Structure 1
Amino acid sequence: MKTLAFLPLLVAVATPVGAQDMPKVSATPPERISQLTVFGSDPCPRSTGDEIVICARMPENERYRLPKRFRNKPKSDQPAMAWGARSLDLEYVNRQGLPNSCNTGGSNGQTGCFQQFLAKARAERDYDRRQASPDAP
């Protein structure tokens, strides 16, 4: 009999404070808004149910054009670089630290420095041979 006396107290403790003050949620969903752009004399679609349709009308000659923000971009002063030259630049920059790269950082630099040294030595030797014999091409 004593446990029944504490039942209203347990129910009051289990109910969150302020639950009675919470706003009621309506059963209807919020309105749906559609924003469209129509061109020329195309009709604006009619709204159905809770949907709101907003139409912006543009002239017919704008139908297949690029948007204004993408038209007439100012040309840069720098001429366009060919993709082959750009890829060589990227390859040179990304080569640091790879084998045959000739840099002071990493364990792969010494092989590239030696390769460059050999290439310069061969070029100097070929130049000296060409200078020594005037009939050589």
Structure 2
Amino acid sequence: MIRPFLIALLAASPVLAQEGESADSSAPPQRVRSVLLYGEEACPKPDGPDEVVICARPGDSPFRIPKALRKTEPGPEGTSWVRRAELVDEVNRATLPGSCSPIGSYGQSGCTIRMLQQWKAEMKAKKDEEAAMPRGSELDD
């Protein structure tokens, strides 16, 4: 009969010990305030002895993404499916007809096409260069 009474008394003793400590000055504060500061803002002072103010500076502006999160490396996860399909086509084009490659069927047919496209680009560049030069009548003015 005494044994259950002693067990109950031992189980309740930590609760009684904690009640006595709450009146101590080492009790946690009643109010904790977290403040985010931007620019040159100063950390506000606590309103009373039972308040703790925690200040943090997350960045320059509340409306900007932090610099650590702004920089993204281009990679496959950021590439659209259309661009991925285009890349596959570009890689496979080396072995297709019209590729100007010794690999694959009809690769030589692309060499003529590429040569004509290069000649056309050279002629256009020459024509644009001549159009940019002033003529003799324009120099007299």
User: Quick check: TM above 0.5?
Assistant: no
TM-score range, shorter chain: 0.3 to 0.5
Structure with the larger helix share: 2
How does the TM-score come out when normalised to structure 1? 0.37
How does the TM-score come out when normalised to structure 2? 0.36
